[in-house]
């Protein structure tokens, strides 16, 4: 079945083909007709199944029709609103929608509004109006308070990763946003999982919805190989370092439970010759964007992250996802491992789990236990570092000297602050380029210094 057969215009179907959507995926084939008919839709499908295009393509089609009816409308009236839980997902969704809208007969103005950066460029982009806004709830409320936009003309509301919006505590923000939307509108919910906690919100917002739930057929889902390795908690970092060196992953995402753990694990790995860095919510938006860009470019071996990177972020051909700490729920587990197996002809991710067999056993099916350790789960790393590791270590002796510690401002004032991990530069210039150092003083991250990729 083609996109045109589902009701899309020839120009939009051609744009989808250019973006790599040769034919509709199951979620797209099921959702497109209902969305084009103006029905409310509840869409549930596995990660990486094309949910963004499932709501993006019909939304762009309706915007094209509206621009055709009102070609000289000025300022533009905001007709489409997409709410997402994280900044990275907002940027990614915006990029996909802009790519699909490129070359259409009527220009579609798409604006992305996220926190962590100055609101002024976003307010300037909204001058003269916009057709479609992709935003995080907090920044959208900021723009509404600044009277940078109005929501009274919105005809379609999309909640992408709706369950995560509630998990992150956006319930109050959502209620404030919904109060400013017109009551007569189309509502679209899309997510890879739909736990019971979201049922109340869906029942309150969706009117006679079309439920689209795509269950992958055997052999159609990415062939993600899941492995469970039992190991002592104190040996996990050593095991991870060993696996990186022995199996040659190239790059991988390592999921941990807290921001502090992300910084600590990344520091330990980096000091032992593994190009690893942390990715979490305490980094500035610029630093987060840079880390993702460098990971996609292959400049990092490992990125140690919280569940911030577990939703919607598309990293093509990511071979491995590591669960250093167990996720809080089976839903988070599904999203984590969904980062691998994308865009691969022979997808093969690997799951690394600590030896806690009590966590959602029904949802964790390890196929093959190759790599499991012996009695007690202990793994003894080789004593001899590789030539590559020795070279990296030698490059770390620059102006500050190996292991030299620079005091934080709190220490200079005489406070008892203790910092974890000096991060000497490895970029050949004896300095780093981005801020970010974890300090145990009051359990917060202070901006000082950051690792650099090769």
For the stretch 128-171, pLDDT in tens is: 889 999 999 999 999 999 999 999 999 999 999 887 787 667 88
pTM of the model: 0.63
Distance CA 266, CA 58 (A): 42
As a CATH number, domain 3-213 is: 3.40.50.300
Q: pLDDT higher for 223 or 81?
A: 81
Q: pLDDT higher for 208 or 343?
A: 208
pLDDT in the model for residue 444: 38
Please determine, for residue 316, whether its predicted confidence score (pLDDT) is greater than 80.
no
Q: pLDDT higher for 279 or 357?
A: 279
pLDDT in the model for residue 373: 28
- What does the CA dihedral 330, 332, 334, 339 come to, rounded to 10 degrees? -160
pLDDT in the model for residue 245: 83
For the stretch 62-85, pLDDT in tens is: 999 888 777 666 678 899 999 998
Confidence of residue 313 (pLDDT cuts 50, 70, 90): low
Please determine, for residue 54, whether its predicted confidence score (pLDDT) is greater than 80.
yes
- Stated length of the chain: 454
Instruction: Pick the most confident of 93-107, 162-176, 313-327, 360-374.
Output: 93-107
Confidence of residue 451 (pLDDT cuts 50, 70, 90): low
Q: Do domains 3-213 and 235-338 have the same CATH topology?
A: yes
Q: Are 319 and 253 in contact (CB under 8 A)?
A: no
Q: pLDDT higher for 112 or 293?
A: 112
Domain boundaries, given as residue ranges, for the chain: 3-213, 235-338
Distance CA 219, CA 289 (A): 34
pLDDT in the model for residue 134: 97
pLDDT in the model for residue 243: 87
Residues 15-37 have a mean pLDDT of 90
Q: Considering the chain, what percentage of its residues have pLDDT values greater than 70?
A: 70
As a CATH number, domain 235-338 is: 3.40.50.300
Please determine, for residue 249, whether its predicted confidence score (pLDDT) is greater than 60.
yes
């Amino acid at each position: 079945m083609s996109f045109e057969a589902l009701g899309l215009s020839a120009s939009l179907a051609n744009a989808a083909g250019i973006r790599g959507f040769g034919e509709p995926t199951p979620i797209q084939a099921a959702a497109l007709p209902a969305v084009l008919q103006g029905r409310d839709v509840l869409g549930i499908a596995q990660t990486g199944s094309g949910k963004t295009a499932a709501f993006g393509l019909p939304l762009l089609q309706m915007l094209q029709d509206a621009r055709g009816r009102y070609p000289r409308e000025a300022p533009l009236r905001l007709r489409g609103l997409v709410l997402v839980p994280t900044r990275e997902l907002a940027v990614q969704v915006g990029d996909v929608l802009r790519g699909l809208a490129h070359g259409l007969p009527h220009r579609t103005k798409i604006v992305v509004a996220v926190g962590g950066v100055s609101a002024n460029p976003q307010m300037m982009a909204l001058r003269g109006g916009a057709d479609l806004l992709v935003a995080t709830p907090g920044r959208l409320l900021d723009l509404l308070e600044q009277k940078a936009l109005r929501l009274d003309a919105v005809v379609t509301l999309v909640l992408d990763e709706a369950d995560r919006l509630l998990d992150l505590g956006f319930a109050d923000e959502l209620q404030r946003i919904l109060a400013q939307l017109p009551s007569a509108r189309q509502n679209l919910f899309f997510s890879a999982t739909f736990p019971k906690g979201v049922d109340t919100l869906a029942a309150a917002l969706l009117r006679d919805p079309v439920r689209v739930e795509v269950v992958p057929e055997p052999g159609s889902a990415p062939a993600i190989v899941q492995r469970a390795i039992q190991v002592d908690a104190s040996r996990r970092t050593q095991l991870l370092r060993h696996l990186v060196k022995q199996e040659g992953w190239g790059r991988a995402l390592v999921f941990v439970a807290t921001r502090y753990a992300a910084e600590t694990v990344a520091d330990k790995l980096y000091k032992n010759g593994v190009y690893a860095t942390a990715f979490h919510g305490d980094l500035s938006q610029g630093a987060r964007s840079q880390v993702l860009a460098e990971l996609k470019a292959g400049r990092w071996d490992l990125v140690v992250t919280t569940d911030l990177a577990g939703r919607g972020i598309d990293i093509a051909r990511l071979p491995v996802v590591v669960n250093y700490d167990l996720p809080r729920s089976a839903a988070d587990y599904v999203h984590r491992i969904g980062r691998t197996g994308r865009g691969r002809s022979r997808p093969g991710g690997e799951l690394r789990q600590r030896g806690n067999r009590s966590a959602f056993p029904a949802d964790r099916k390890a196929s093959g236990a190759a790599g499991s350790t012996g009695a007690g789960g202990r793994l003894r790393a080789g004593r001899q570092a590789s030539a590559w590791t020795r070279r990296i270590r030698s490059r770390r002796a620059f102006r500050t000297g190996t292991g030299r510690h620079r005091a934080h401002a709190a220490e200079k004032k005489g406070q008892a602050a203790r910092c974890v991990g000096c991060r000497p530069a490895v970029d050949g210039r004896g300095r780093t380029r981005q801020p970010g150092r974890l300090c145990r003083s009051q359990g917060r991250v202070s901006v000082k210094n950051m690792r650099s990729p090769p």
